[in-house]
A and B are shown apart, each in its own frame.
Chain A
Amino acid sequence: MIQVTLRFFAAYRERLKTGSLPMILTEGTTAAECFDRLRSDLGLDAATVRSTLFAINQEYVKPEAVLKDGDELAFIPPVSGG
């Protein structure tokens, strides 16, 4: 098993009422698989899920990126800076 830290921002942070959560996962779990486990808690529709990006240790990664022990995985909702 591995432990990762999940990070939430903006609407995701508000819905979960936290910006950070530890999670225990089996080895080989991908960023997208981890996100799927939270979909119902986040109350996300399919379009929002499709537009969510993933970052591991503060770098954008593909959804199929495999998590390692100690990783920080961030779910990035559509950005709107500027």
Chain B
Amino acid sequence: MLKSAIHIEVTDRSIEVGPHYAAMLSSGTGAVVLFSGNVRDHNEGKAVSRLYYEAYDGMVQRVLQQIAEEAVGRWRLARMAIVQRIGWIPVGEPAVIVLASHAHRNEAFQAARYGIDELKRRAPIWKKEIYTDGSENWVACHHHGPEPHVHGHAQQ
């Protein structure tokens, strides 16, 4: 597998989608799927003003690289990119993008879906929601975790 087929980035700057999309293109590319996960203005009934993202620097890049390598290998992707933004992110802006390119759309859709699902399940990234009333909360998504054989404690 070509390492250059994979682009992993963790940045504290705004994500510009255009250059990442352009980097997916090649003469054999019939389909590019781009997923963007954006900061929305509400969660579980509370009005959100902004989000703070934190990552385990070093480990997060390793995990995202592993996820991308798995996707490229499984679906024989031409290219894949995962870009996660950290720090303060205003409502409406992308916090993460996942791109997959392939000769055909089916594989590109499945691989992009795999990329974002696995990122949410096992990448060491945390977000804190700041609400319009001034309160805040670290978001805990309880329906995931790494593979069972490395899971910290048994899940019910």
Q: Please list the residues of chain A having a beta carbon within 8 angstroms of any beta carbon in chain B.
A: 7, 9-11, 13, 32, 49-55, 58-63, 74, 76-82
What are the 9 A-B residue pairs with the smallest beta carbon separation, nearest first? A81-B125, A10-B126, A58-B59, A78-B140, A53-B152, A80-B139, A82-B120, A60-B150, A50-B153
Residues in A whose Cβ lies below 8 Å from that of B55? 81
Chain B 105-149 near chain A by CB (<8 Å), digits 1 or 0: 000000000001001111111111000000000111110111101
Residues in B whose Cβ lies below 8 Å from that of A59? 59, 62
User: What's the Cα separation between A82 and B123 when bound, in Å?
Assistant: 9
User: What's the Cα separation between A58 and B58 when bound, in Å?
Assistant: 7
B contact residues, total (Cβ < 8 Å): 38
Q: Please list the residues of chain B having a beta carbon within 8 angstroms of any beta carbon in chain A.
A: 37, 53-56, 58-59, 62, 84, 95-96, 116, 119-128, 138-142, 144-147, 149-155
Known interface pairs A58-B58, A74-B59, A80-B141; 10 further A-B residue pairs with C-beta atoms within 8 A, sorted by A's residue number: A9-B126, A10-B128, A13-B54, A49-B153, A50-B152, A50-B154, A51-B140, A58-B56, A74-B124, A81-B53
Q: How far is the CB of A82 from chain B (nearest CB, A)?
A: 4
Are B126 and A61 in touch, CB under 8 angstroms? no
Residues in A whose Cβ lies below 8 Å from that of B124? 9, 55, 74, 76, 79, 81
